[in-house]
Amino acid sequence: MSTTGWNPETGAHTTFSAHGNSLVTSLLLWNDRIVTGSDDTTVCVWTNDGALEKKLEGHESGVWGLALHHDTLVSASQDRTVRIWNLQTGLCSHIFRGHHSTIRCVTIAESDDTIGGYQAPVKPLILTGSRDHTLRVWTLPVSGDDEFKATEDDAVNPFHRFTLDGHTESIRDISVRGRIAVSGSYDNTARVWDIVTGQCLWKLEGHIGKVYSVAVDLSNEQVFSGSMDTTIRVWSLKDGSCKAVLDRHESLVGLLSLSPSYLFSAAPDRFVHVWDLKTLAVVQSFEHDQTITSIQGDDDKAVAGSDGLVQVGIVTTGQTTDLLSMGRERLVSKVAYANNKCVAVTKDGATHVDVWMFGEKA
């Protein structure tokens, strides 16, 4: 672990090693901790200064997705299982089986996320997407629920709600707000689901390439899909129609992120574009020297990582700050930003985690 001085303003920069030479596939910020999932089969919980606080072991293959609900962590794996962990104790209380191939993505639908006429689920729900072409909906276990650890794929699971069929190729990405979920698939389509009823509301057709990224904007009753065909399509939740085709990128749109006011998109064309959710106009663009590998944004900042660079851009002014600049020596695979803390996972053979703490004036 090493600590370097860095300003904005009176903040600190810390770097530490994580997961040996293995790939970190997932990154979350939990309270004042950092949570990483890796293809080495483990999930690790770190302090900001790099101390390994907990190592969650049990998956038999790489971890490909993580989702958080308060102190409960959900992990999804290449071993086709979902595991539920208590982050305070580090113990696994539930194991869900049923998918027939790698679980590529996982997210949680919150029970307090009612927007407009879209009533949230009564209890939080887990949504998983797999290379077996299906999604599954599970009730999130809460304190007091009996432990359940399935040993067979066909075991009767009291937490399993639905299997969502319809896609004909691997599920690449999922997004959820309240009861509304959208899935993007290598079959060139996206689908909108009501995960409370298990109903497919709309099949979204129009892309001429694989769908790599999706996002739900419930406040404006629209969803977004980013594709290998280089476009972002905007779809109406009211009738499933395509409202607009956003074509500012020149290569596959593999990354989408939402804030209350903006959509952030990134592609191997080296650009991050910031779109106004109401007008669908580009309000800001940030350019990198290399392919962008990870983005996250809020209404103030856009944080993006690429080969050797972590950059923070101010949405309103376009001003940028390079937090890490090392040419192409270190690939930035994941970034996360919250509460004046930016975290990036980088790899130069070995895997590292960089933490930047911003001062009050930053």
pLDDT at 43 over 60: yes
Read off the tokens for 196. Answer: 């409370």
Q: pLDDT band at residue 324, thresholds of 50, 70 and 90?
A: confident
| Range list of H helices, 154-218 | none
Q: In the predicted model, is pLDDT for residue 208 greater than 90?
A: yes
Tell me phi and psi for residue 213, to 5 degrees: -150, 145
Mean pLDDT of the chain: 93
Task: Choose among 223, 45, 28: nearest CA to 118.
Answer: 223
Write out pLDDT tens, residues 96-151: 999 999 999 999 999 988 787 888 899 999 999 999 999 999 999 988 888 999 98
Tens digits of residue pLDDT in 145-188: 889 999 887 778 999 999 999 999 999 999 999 999 999 999 99
Please tell me the predicted confidence (pLDDT) of residue 170: 98
How far apart (Å, rounded) are the C-alpha atoms in residues 168 and 301? 37
Q: Give the whole-angstrom CA distance, residue 302 versus residue 284.
A: 10
Domains and CATH numbers, the chain: 58-247 (2.130.10.10)
CB 200 within 8 A of CB 191: yes
Closest CA to 253 of 214, 222, 289, 216: 214
Q: What is the pLDDT of residues 14-35, one digit of tens each?
A: 999 999 999 999 999 999 999 9
For residue 3, what pLDDT is reported?
Answer: 45
For the chain, give the percent of residues with pLDDT over 90: 81
Q: How confident is the model at residue 4 (pLDDT cuts 50, 70, 90)?
A: very low
19's tokens: 């997961």
What gap in Å lies between CA 49 and CA 310, rounded to an integer? 19
Q: Where are the alpha helices (DSSP H) in the chain?
A: none
Residues 171, 182 contacting (CB under 8 angstroms): no
Q: How far apart are CA 225 and CA 178, in angstroms?
A: 18
- Cα(333)–Cα(292) distance, rounded to whole angstroms? 9
Q: What is the pLDDT of residues 58-86, one digit of tens each?
A: 999 999 999 999 999 999 999 999 999 99
